[in-house]
A = this chain, B = another copy of it.
Amino acid sequence: MSYTIAEIAKALGAKALGDGAISVTALAEPADAGPDQLALATKPEYAEALPKGRARAALIWEGADWQALGLEAAIVAPRPRYAMSGLTAMMDLGEGWGEGIHPSAVIHESAVLGEGVHVGPLTVIGAGASIGAGTRIGPQVSIGADARIAEGGLIREGARIAARVRIGARVILNPGAVIGGDGFSFVTPEKSGVESVRETLGDQGDAAAQSYVRIHSLGSVRLGDDVEVGANAAIDRGTVRDTVIGDRTKIDTLVMVAHNVVVGTDTLLCGLVGIAGSTRIGNNVVLAGQVGVGDNLFVGDNVIAGGGTKILSNVPAGRVILGYPAMKMDAHIDMYKNLRRLGRLVADVAQLKKSVSKDGQSD
Contacts and interface: CB of A to CB of B under 8 A. Distances in A.
A343 B255 CA distance: 35
A224 to B, nearest CB: 12
Identical copies of this chain, number: 3
Interface in A322-346: 323-325, 327-330, 333-336, 338-343, 345-346
B106 A106 contact: no
Contacts of A164: 93
A292 B292 CA distance: 13
A304 B302 CA distance: 33
A308 interface: yes
A116 to B, nearest CB: 20
A343 B348 contact: no
A151 interface: no
A157 to B, nearest CB: 4
A209 B330 contact: no
Nearest to A255: B254
Interface in A193-243: 193-194, 197, 201-204, 209-218, 228, 230-234, 236, 239-241
A169 interface: no
A190 B82 CA distance: 8
Contact of A197 (B92, B258, B329): B329
A252 B345 CA distance: 41
A88 B218 contact: yes
Contact of A158 (B127, B158, B340, B349): B158
Contacts of A329: 197, 201-202
A252 to B, nearest CB: 4
A60 interface: no
Nearest to A184: B252
A158 B231 CA distance: 13
26 contacts: A79-B189, A82-B187, A84-B215, A88-B216, A93-B164, A98-B127, A106-B122, A120-B124, A122-B124, A140-B140, A157-B160, A178-B232, A181-B232, A181-B253, A184-B268, A186-B268, A193-B286, A201-B330, A202-B328, A230-B236, A234-B254, A276-B289, A290-B290, A342-B342, A352-B356, A359-B359
